[in-house]
């Protein structure tokens, strides 16, 4: 039996869409107070209105760009001002523009790393005093299987950034441990989000065929993993990762999936 997170203060960066909104919903449904942050104000407010219908706690918004350090600090301060502190940071905001490695520019790499790596690191840094003050702070990073485990043409810069998040969290876990703060990462496989709308049935069927469970993951699958890492009961787990992919990384070759 897990201790309910009712009344806890939870930040979800990139909480206006996709996986982040799913994570926010998972916490909102437990009665936590949830602050979602993203750049587009209209999408963010629409998400907050939707989430509020599933929450007994409060849902608040901050328009912010996590690639800017001062915005990371504003997000943390907003949670402290509105909820009285921070129990959980879900560092989820991420971008994944596609471009072949041979065509990548310095700007392409900088912009992906600014959001995915720098944004993660400075979100954690900004929230740390408040997380530490709670004595049981939790950070949950959304990484990916792409980069740390697998590769996909067109996403070399993205994969590098997702692997970099894990390099960061392993040392951060050591530095945060004496402050009573854990940091862990969820590594999603292919998750069904609005981003896949318009990709077409053939694309989706192809992705499903590569997954032993023969379905894409749901944002709820990722939200549940985030809830686990955020729980009181996961307090002795830090610096770790959990792959949530329906078994996608397991087959040694396409032959392993024949007849399955």
Q: How far is the CB of 193 from ligand NAP (least distance, A)?
A: 4
Task: Give first-to-last CA distance, the chain, whole Å.
Answer: 35
- Exactly one of 5, 11, 19, 72 binds ligand NAP (CB under 6 A); that residue is 19
Crossing angle of the two packed helices 18-29 and 41-52, in degrees rounded to 10:
30
Cα–Cα distance for residue pair 158/129, rounded to 1 Å: 29
- The residue from 46, 80, 95, 160 that contacts ligand NAP (CB under 6 A) is 95
Binder to ligand NAP among 76, 115, 121, 181 (CB under 6 A)? Answer: 115
Whether 83 contacts 35, CB under 8 Å = yes
Q: Shortest Cβ distance from residue 180 to ligand NAP (Å)?
A: 26
* 158 catalytically annotated: yes
Q: Please pick, from the candidates 92, 156, 182, 241, the single residue that binds ligand NAP as defined by CB under 6 A.
A: 92
- At its nearest, how many Å lie between ligand NAP and the CB of residue 121? 13
Asked if residue 246 binds ligand NAP (CB under 6 A), the reply is: no
Of 170, 166, 174, the residue nearest 149 (C-alpha):
166
**Could you say whether residue 127 binds ligand NAP (CB under 6 A)?**
no
The tokens of 241 are what?
């990762």
Residue 200 tokens, joined: 């077409």
How many residues in the shown chain lie near ligand NAP by CB under 6 A?
A: 31
- Give residue for tokens 């078994």: 247
C-beta neighbour count of 29 within 10 angstroms: 18
Could you say which of 9, 29, 33, 144 contacts ligand NAP (CB under 6 A)? Answer: 144
Spatial CB neighbours of 9, under 8 Å, sequence gap ≥ 6: 32, 33, 35, 79, 83, 84, 85, 86, 87, 88
Q: Which of 190, 238, 241, 248 binds ligand NAP (CB under 6 A)?
A: 190
Give 19 or 34: the residue with its C-beta nearer to ligand NAP: 19
Please say which residue, 108 or 179, places its beta carbon nearer to ligand NAP.
108
Map tokens 């900004």 to a residue.
Answer: 126
> Which range in 52-60, 131-139, 186-194, 250-258 contacts ligand NAP by CB under 6 A?
186-194
- Facing residues of 63 across strands? 38
- What residues line the site for ligand NAP (CB under 6 A)? 13-14, 16-20, 37-40, 43, 64-67, 92-96, 115, 119, 142, 144, 188, 190-191, 193-195
Q: Give the catalytic positions in this structure.
A: 158
């Amino acid at each position: 039996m897990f201790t309910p997170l009712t009344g806890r203060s939870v930040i979800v960066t990139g909480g206006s869409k996709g996986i982040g909104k799913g994570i926010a919903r998972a916490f909102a449904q437990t009665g936590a107070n949830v602050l979602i942050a993203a750049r587009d104000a209209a999408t963010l407010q629409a998400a907050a209105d939707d989430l509020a219908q599933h929450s007994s706690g409060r849902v608040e918004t901050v328009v912010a760009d996590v690639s800017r350090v001062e915005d990371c600090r504003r997000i943390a301060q907003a949670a402290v001002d509105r909820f009285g502190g921070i129990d959980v940071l879900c560092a989820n905001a991420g971008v994944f523009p596609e471009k072949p490695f041979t065509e990548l520019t310095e700007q392409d790499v900088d912009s992906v790393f600014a959001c995915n790596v720098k944004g993660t690191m400075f979100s954690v840094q900004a929230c740390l005093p408040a997380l530490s003050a709670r004595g049981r702070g939790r950070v949950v990073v959304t990484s990916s299987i792409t980069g740390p485990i697998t590769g996909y043409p067109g996403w070399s810069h993205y994969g590098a950034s997702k692997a970099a998040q894990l390099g960061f969290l392993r040392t951060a876990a050591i530095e945060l441990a004496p402050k009573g703060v854990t940091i862990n990462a969820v590594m999603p496989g292919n998750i069904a989000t609005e981003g896949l709308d318009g990709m077409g049935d053939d694309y989706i069927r192809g992705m499903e065929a590569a997954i032993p469970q023969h379905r894409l993951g749901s944002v709820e699958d990722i939200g549940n993993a985030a809830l686990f890492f955020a729980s009181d009961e996961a307090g002795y787990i830090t610096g770790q990762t959990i792959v949530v992919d329906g078994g996608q990384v397991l087959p040694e070759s396409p032959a392993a999936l024949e007849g399955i």
